[in-house]
Amino acid sequence: MKKRKLVGVLITDCHVDFQEEILRGIISQAFKSQCDIAVLAPFHNFYLHSAHRDMEKSIFSLILSDRFDGFLYDKLTFHDDSVQKYVDDLLVRSGKPVMLLDSGGHRSFESTSIDDGEAFEAITDHLINVHGMRDILCLTGPKGTFAAEERLKGYKNSMKKHGLRCDKSHIRYGDFWKDSAHQLARDIINGNVSMPEAVVCGNDVSAEELIAALSKGGIRVPEDIAVTGYDATIHGMSFEPPLTSYIRPNFQMGAEAFRRLYRIMTGRICNKIPDRNGGLCIGKSCGCMGVPRLSAKMRRRNAVTSKFEGYLLYGDMLFDVTNTADLSEFADTVDRYTFFIHKMSHVGLFITRKYIESPGGSFGSRLTFECGDEVKMILSKSSIKRRESGTEYFSSESLIPVFSEERPFPSAYYISPLHYNSNLFGYAAVSFGKEPMSFTSLYLQWINYINIALEQLRIKTFMSRTITETNHALLYDSYTGLLNRSGMEHELAVLLSEAEENVMVDCLRFHLTGISKTYYQSGEEKCDRMITAFAAAVRSCLYDDEVCGRWSNNSIGVITLRQGRAEAIYPELCERIRESGADGDSCNIDFTLGSCVIEEAGGSSGKNGSAMSLSAAMHRAVVDRMFTYTLSEQNENPQFSKLCMLRSRIMKNPEKPWNISEIAENLYLSKSYLQKIYKTYFGKSIIEEMIQFRIDKAKELLANTDMTVTEISKECGYSSYNYFVRQFKSSEGVSPSEYRAGCPEKGSGGEEQ
């Protein structure tokens, strides 16, 4: 099947009947032309600013998708210049043809507009011819905009045609919104503007706000002043008093804009759908007694929306969707509430990989969105049943899967952002099938609940991960990965609670007696590696149901319900540690093994017949040692510990002026004997080790500080800079400055005298 053209529509406030009528025309003409429609539909028009609303513009990054063949752009619905510029720049970057709606000329885009001049002239004529009014004021839109100037032109034509005055005092430029109407009302009430007989407003919103503000000031409409609107919105028809307005042919404008864009995209002319002409809509705000009536279809839709808004507000949806544990449960819960979307044919929720993986990172990291980000469809629901949503990620550049499927008929989808404040989670897509319509305000509230639930789920998932990590940190030793003391006590409690009758718990403790000597001889890092290797060796000798943990810095504990385990484990462990050799994973070290039994513990009654705690049992296991493993006789030399402590002091303070004679005197040894046994134990003389420790300290300072080389030489105990440089180069093969230059993060200090 031949691929359909996909046209993007950029418009805000799709739930407003004015915009919806334009969309009806676009979609009807697109379906007639066998084209798909994707409306990038934020829920706000950016008139008011907040972190939540401003984030909605991120959805327009999808403009850069290669799936689009062209765009229809209702620029006037964007009430913020910066957002307009952002969208304009994206459209230019896309390189696709763009057709503006009602926006006059543009240096880069074509435009389709409706002649509002004749329609506005007809409204003004009605006030003059029917009601005999002469002093009429015009409140139009922003100065310089096509729609505002066209409506002002129609007003002037009518006034001049009837020979009436319409100077600058009778003309007000506004904003097609609320502020300008409020200001005009204040000026009339305060006497800054002479009270006219009537005011013709550029749209229904301005007319409604003007009437409300005048009424608060004691001025009645239409008794004191007649007010008319423009656009003939549903809200204006139900306003009190009902507005006299003009039914603008927005449907026809949308259809015509699509036809012109289609010709640019394809070079062909598409068949035209029937016109829906506009005309005067007589209400009571001008002084007439007309009562505009909605069609039966619109009255039913409004009644359904109003009824279901109550169900949504007072129902359980928000509670249910915010109390889900994961995305799968969330999607299942949302599935039960899709009936709130009036006349929905299909709805899908697409969540970004960034959101799904966000609990694994920092909670404060902002979740941004741009075209090409990976998304996953977590919910796909038709009006009849739930569809298979799939489990794979796909690029958001393809928008939604349906646009890539073979279908016998075209589709129109509204794609709206899912977000909370400055974090964007993905997007929702809703279609109304063959019906050319838009969503109602009820859909906005429904999506708001979805957004709140997604944020709550993100918080809960992050907090759950944090609690898990915290519990792990509380119960496990970070270096060996084994349980710590608290973890072993917790596991013992679980073990006893699950026991159906009293049991005997054997507590084994492996006390590493040689670890302190290793610390003095080789430092903390070597000790940690040796303890980790020893712990792994012990764990390899145990059964899966036996609990093993790091009871203290220099001991490993085991809890088991099996009896006589010490006798079985000791020979096996000795064999394993002898085989560990002398490499980095060596655990060949002196240790003792003791055992203590906690009798009559646990049971279904919760009884702990023995008053002995795990802590007391582990202490007794050290005292009542059963086996002792000794590495060699050299460790029995009484001078060895003293030399280890000496080496540790030199390692920590190499810059000190260490004197061999003074050291020998303090150890009650001769100078020659001291040097002999030191080199025997450690492989280097005291002076050689001191030099190496000084060079090691210098390397650390060069890599991690901005100190000059001269300052470092003094810090390391050298009185001569040149001697330090020669000794450093002899040891490392490069000068201090060359060494610093090769460091990933080097300081700025240079080599200086």
pLDDT digits (tens, 9 = 90+) for 446-501: 999 999 999 999 888 877 766 666 666 678 887 888 888 888 988 888 888 887 77
| Residue after which a domain boundary falls, among 633, 653, 685 | 633
User: Counting every residue, how long is the chain?
Assistant: 753
**Based on the domain organization, do 323 and 451 belong to the same domain?**
yes
Among 472, 451, 467, 496, CA closest to 617: 496
State the DSSP H helix or E strand holding residue 461, giving kind and residue range, or none if neither. Answer: helix 441-475
Q: How far is CA 204 from CA 212, 219, 423, 651, in A?
A: 12, 19, 35, 85
Task: Give the per-residue pLDDT at 263.
Answer: 95
**Based on the domain organization, do 617 and 569 belong to the same domain?**
yes
Contacts of 168 (CB under 8 A, 6+ apart): none
Whole-number average pLDDT of the chain: 86
pLDDT digits (tens, 9 = 90+) for 204-237: 999 999 999 999 999 999 999 999 999 888 888 8
> Does the CA dihedral 637-638-644-650 come out positive or negative?
negative
**Based on the domain organization, do 258 and 239 belong to the same domain?**
no
Task: Give the per-residue pLDDT at 478.
Answer: 78
Contact 198, 226 (CB under 8 A): yes
State the DSSP H helix or E strand holding residue 260, giving kind and residue range, or none if neither. Answer: helix 250-266
Q: Is residue 221 part of a domain?
A: yes
**Based on the domain organization, do 616 and 658 belong to the same domain?**
no
State the DSSP H helix or E strand holding residue 578, giving kind and residue range, or none if neither. Answer: helix 565-579
**Based on the domain organization, do 98 and 162 belong to the same domain?**
no
CATH code: domain of residue 604? 3.30.70.270
Q: Is residue 526 part of a domain?
A: yes
Contact 703, 685 (CB under 8 A): no
Region 658-670 average pLDDT: 85
**Based on the domain organization, do 392 and 355 belong to the same domain?**
yes
Range of the domain at 706: 640-741
Q: Is residue 418 part of a domain?
A: no
Q: What is the DSSP string of 96-151?
A: --EEEES----SS-EEE---HHHHHHHHHHHHHHTT----EEEE-SSTT-HHHHHH
**Based on the domain organization, do 28 and 97 belong to the same domain?**
yes
- What distance in Å separates the CA atoms of residue 167 and residue 163, rounded to the nearest whole number? 12
Q: Is residue 297 part of a domain?
A: no
CATH code: domain of residue 174? 3.40.50.2300
Q: Is residue 224 part of a domain?
A: yes
State the DSSP H helix or E strand holding residue 198, giving kind and residue range, or none if neither. Answer: strand 198-201
CB atoms within 10 A of CB 610: 17
**Based on the domain organization, do 200 and 329 belong to the same domain?**
no
Contact 593, 623 (CB under 8 A): no
Q: Is the pLDDT confidence value at 604 over 60?
A: no
Among 185, 186, 166, 180, CA closest to 225: 185
- What distance in Å separates the CA atoms of residue 72 and residue 450, rounded to the nearest whole number? 28
How many independent structural domains does the chain possess? 5
Contact 322, 342 (CB under 8 A): no
- Helices 179-190 and 204-216 cross at an angle (nearest 10°) of 40
Among 447, 329, 420, 427, CA closest to 377: 427
User: Looking at per-residue confidence, does 305 or 415 come out higher?
Assistant: 415
**Based on the domain organization, do 550 and 605 belong to the same domain?**
yes
**Based on the domain organization, do 445 and 580 belong to the same domain?**
no
State the DSSP H helix or E strand holding residue 723, giving kind and residue range, or none if neither. Answer: helix 721-732
Q: Is the pLDDT confidence value at 320 over 50?
A: yes
User: Looking at per-residue confidence, does 718 or 602 come out higher?
Assistant: 718
pLDDT grade, residue 585 (50/70/90)?
A: low
Q: Is the pLDDT confidence value at 132 over 70?
A: yes
Contact 197, 132 (CB under 8 A): no
**Based on the domain organization, do 362 and 458 belong to the same domain?**
yes
Q: Is the pLDDT confidence value at 605 over 70?
A: no
Q: Is the pLDDT confidence value at 552 over 60?
A: yes
Q: Is residue 427 part of a domain?
A: no
Among 277, 281, 292, 254, CA closest to 19: 254
Q: Is residue 414 part of a domain?
A: no
User: Looking at per-residue confidence, does 520 or 98 come out higher?
Assistant: 98
Q: Is residue 476 part of a domain?
A: no
Block residue for tokens 């000597």: 517
**Based on the domain organization, do 655 and 601 belong to the same domain?**
no
Q: Is the pLDDT confidence value at 286 over 60?
A: yes
- What distance in Å separates the CA atoms of residue 52 and residue 130, rounded to the nearest whole number? 48
